[in-house]
Amino acid sequence: MAPAPTANEITVREVLAKLEAEFAPVADAVENGEFALWVGSGISRQAPNLGNLIERAVDYIRERAIDPITAAAYMPALKEALVLAEVEPESVEAQYGQPFAVWPEHDAIIDRLWTKYSRVLDIRIAGTAADFILWDAIDIRQAFEHAEPPAAEHLCIAILILEGAIQSVASANWDGFIEAAVERLSNGVPAVLQVVVDPDQLRGPAGRARLLKFHGCIVHATREPLVFRRFLTGSYTQIMDWPEKAEFAAMRNAVVGLATAQKTLVLGLSIQDNNLQTLFARAKATHAWPWPCTPAAPAHIFCEDNIRQGQRDVLRLSYGDAYNDNPAAIHDATLLRAWGEKVLIALVLKLLADKLTRLMELGLTAVGKRPIADALEPLLKALRDDISDLAVPTLGAQNRADFVNQAIALWSRMLSVFRSGSLPGNPAAYETLSNSTPHLIAADQNAQAMCLGRLGVALSLLQFGRTAGLWELRQPIANAVTSGAITARASRPDGVDRPLFIVKSATDAIALKSNGAFANDNAIVVHADDTWHQMAGGGASARRVRAAPGRTGHVGETHVSLGDLLSRCSDAATLQKEFVTEMML
């Protein structure tokens, strides 16, 4: 038996397979709002490099330690930093006058201080503020000044928030990547995310989700240092003080409440700091999580390559004596052996497919065709899995941000065309399918009134033809509306690229036509209802072809009515056959 893939080796499709098998209860619980995200620096690789920040601190101190005017205050600090790095100050004294970057010991010192970063921040300079190393020596504001765009992880978190699956995020990170992702994808709609840095913000208006930045926020601290600078928590003393300091009491209570009331999906957070472990111990004292937990999902899921010491501590704290009964079983159930980027992409793909499946079930059940929904569901999952295979880093990249950005653009294009017969007003924003969780979609009358279940039917049928080798489906060949939502091409030598549109009604098709979308006269338009079919004369087909497909390059518009097909077809096999006939690529 082949060994299980590591967190580095596993693919997004393989993560999806886990979410359909041993971690199915976890996926269902995430989709339906039972989990809070706990995020750390592992999902913010675009943040300033920790090694660079350490170098800035050491060099700042070194320059002043050799200046006779400031040596008395700074030389003890330089020696303290070197001792932390396990270097005898006297052994490198001859190099004090050289930039730290050229020291032969540079890399070794950075490596040793990496895991002692909080101790570096705790170095004190006489006559300065306690956070002097962070605020002035490192100049953390300048370090974060030119922030990179949000990564795949942050964009996926934003999607999960907009889709209603995630209502709570606890973050130890100072950066503003999650906030930037939500702002971009929500098209700048204010207050979608309630960000809490100062406990006073807990009393502010609720958003779709709440982000508890319990170690502070550099964005807020830069904008309003007099209010928010004191919340930046990074030094050893601050970390040790945090569980008891009065001004943090309200935030502590909020975070403990989160650990008590919602399950925990940990992304890029080692949970090694004592203050975090204290929070989980207090949550257990308030209301412990059970083990065994079947059929419910475990209380803690770690997206790591293995269970690390801090996470082992949390499991021991949370489960008490039950941990001793079978530690291996608890580790197996809580370790989703994949990094956060892949897990979040898989969760987004699964959530959207599951919502479309549920909407398809509701819509077809309402017209007495539930068995058709059951037969089409595997096709929708197959399409989801095929898309997941594309979730790989682009050439030369170390992450999947390009894939996620492109997927957001194509999804939003398709959904906007379906809903309104137009391209998105902001191509960088995200079109939300429904902010209801899958369990609550049955009560979401707006989502059902939008005929979104028919979108699921259309995609399933398109996947059927694709897997049968009848046609190929690709992204639009250009950004213009004339390129449709998808490019379809018959799988034969004389096949031609044709823009494909999926619309909810004739009104949207007319809007597209009036905006010149069908100007190339070879569009395929799949209608959710049968209005266009009725307008075309109510014959057996709403399709019209003006020439033999593929021979002259002039094929005319093709209109396919799902409403008509569903009224005529009693089972999935017949529906698939008739759809292929109507498509006639």
Beta carbons within 8 Å of 506's beta carbon, 6+ residues apart:
527, 529, 531, 532, 535
Q: What's 271's domain CATH number?
A: 3.40.50
pLDDT in tens, 357-368: 999 999 999 999
- Dihedral, 502, 507, 512, 513 alpha carbons, nearest 10: 120
Residues 277 and 411 placed together within one structural domain of the fold: no
Q: Which two tokens stand for residue 551?
A: 């021979």
Residue 195 β-bridge partners: 211
CA angle 316, 318, 323 (to 5 degrees): 45
Q: How many residues does the chain have?
A: 585
Residue 209 β-bridge partners: 193
Asked if residue 107 belongs to a domain, the reply is: yes
Cα gap 299→34, rounded to integer Å: 10
Cα gap 93→34, rounded to integer Å: 56
DSSP 8-state symbol, 149 = P
Cα gap 57→170, rounded to integer Å: 28
Q: Which two tokens stand for residue 332?
A: 């197996």
Residues 190 and 302 placed together within one structural domain of the fold: yes
Residues of the chain with pLDDT under 70: 1, 537-555
pLDDT in tens, 499-545: 999 999 999 999 999 999 999 889 999 999 999 888 876 554 455 44
Q: Which two tokens stand for residue 563?
A: 């409403």
Cα gap 437→451, rounded to integer Å: 17
* CA neighbours closer than 13 Å in the CB half-sphere of residue 256: 19
Pairing of strands 471-474, 263-267: unpaired
Q: What is the DSSP string of 356-399?
A: HHHHHHHHHHHTT-HHHHHHHHHHHHHHHHHHHTT-SPPTT-SS
Q: At 525, phi and psi to the nearest 5? A: -120, 115
- φ/ψ region of 146 (left if φ > 0, alpha if ψ in -120 to 50, else beta) reads beta
DSSP 8-state symbol, 335 = B
Cα gap 485→480, rounded to integer Å: 10
Q: What is the DSSP string of 162-197?
A: HTTS--EEEE---S-HHHHHHHHHTTT-TTSEEEES
Cα gap 450→96, rounded to integer Å: 69
Please state whether the peptide bond connecting residue 292 to the residue before it is cis, i.e. omega within 30 degrees of 0.
yes
Q: Which two tokens stand for residue 343?
A: 């897990």
Domain interval for residue 372: 351-583
Residues 364, 370 contacting (CB under 8 angstroms):
yes
Asked if residue 346 belongs to a domain, the reply is: no
Amino acid at 69: I
CA of 241: how far to CAs of 162, 274, 432, in Å? 35, 10, 42
Residues 106 and 219 placed together within one structural domain of the fold: no
The continuous run of DSSP H or E covering 472 comes out as strand 471-474
Task: Report helix, strand and coil shares of the chain as percent, to nearest 5.
Answer: 55, 10, 40
Residues 562, 505 contacting (CB under 8 angstroms):
no
DSSP 8-state symbol, 298 = P
Domain boundary (121, 143, 165) is at: 143
- pLDDT of amino acid 543: 53
Asked if residue 340 belongs to a domain, the reply is: no
- pLDDT of amino acid 1: 66
Amino acid at 482: T
Q: Which two tokens stand for residue 346?
A: 């898989």
Q: Which two tokens stand for residue 189?
A: 């709609």
Cα gap 479→522, rounded to integer Å: 17
- pLDDT of amino acid 180: 97
Cα gap 316→26, rounded to integer Å: 20
- Locus of tokens 């700048």: 188
Asked if residue 7 belongs to a domain, the reply is: no
Mean of all residue pLDDT scores within the chain: 94
Residues 368 and 497 placed together within one structural domain of the fold: yes
Cα gap 536→577, rounded to integer Å: 22
Domain boundary (335, 365, 395) is at: 335
Residues 139 and 154 placed together within one structural domain of the fold: no
Residues 63 and 154 placed together within one structural domain of the fold: no
Asked if residue 6 belongs to a domain, the reply is: no
Residues 274 and 406 placed together within one structural domain of the fold: no
Residues 321 and 197 placed together within one structural domain of the fold: yes
Residues 183 and 291 placed together within one structural domain of the fold: yes
Cα gap 391→400, rounded to integer Å: 6
Residues 293, 259 contacting (CB under 8 angstroms):
no
Cα gap 456→458, rounded to integer Å: 5
Angle of helix 401-420 relative to helix 452-467, nearest 10 degrees, comes to 120
Cα gap 437→330, rounded to integer Å: 28
Q: How many domains does the chain have?
A: 3
Cα gap 299→259, rounded to integer Å: 9
Asked if residue 564 belongs to a domain, the reply is: yes
Cα gap 223→215, rounded to integer Å: 17
pLDDT in tens, 438-461: 999 999 999 999 999 999 999 999
Cα gap 359→252, rounded to integer Å: 40
Residues 467 and 570 placed together within one structural domain of the fold: yes
- The sign of the torsion formed by the CA atoms of 18, 21, 23, 25 equals positive
Residues 240 and 324 placed together within one structural domain of the fold: yes
Asked if residue 376 belongs to a domain, the reply is: yes
Q: Which two tokens stand for residue 417?
A: 């065309």
Residues 416, 422 contacting (CB under 8 angstroms):
yes
Please state whether the peptide bond connecting residue 89 to the residue before it is cis, i.e. omega within 30 degrees of 0.
no
Residues 496 and 558 placed together within one structural domain of the fold: yes
Beta carbons within 8 Å of 371's beta carbon, 6+ residues apart:
571, 572
- Exposed (0-12), middle (13-18) or buried (19+): which is 31, by Cβ within 10 Å? buried
Domain boundary (109, 143, 177) is at: 143
Asked if residue 18 belongs to a domain, the reply is: no
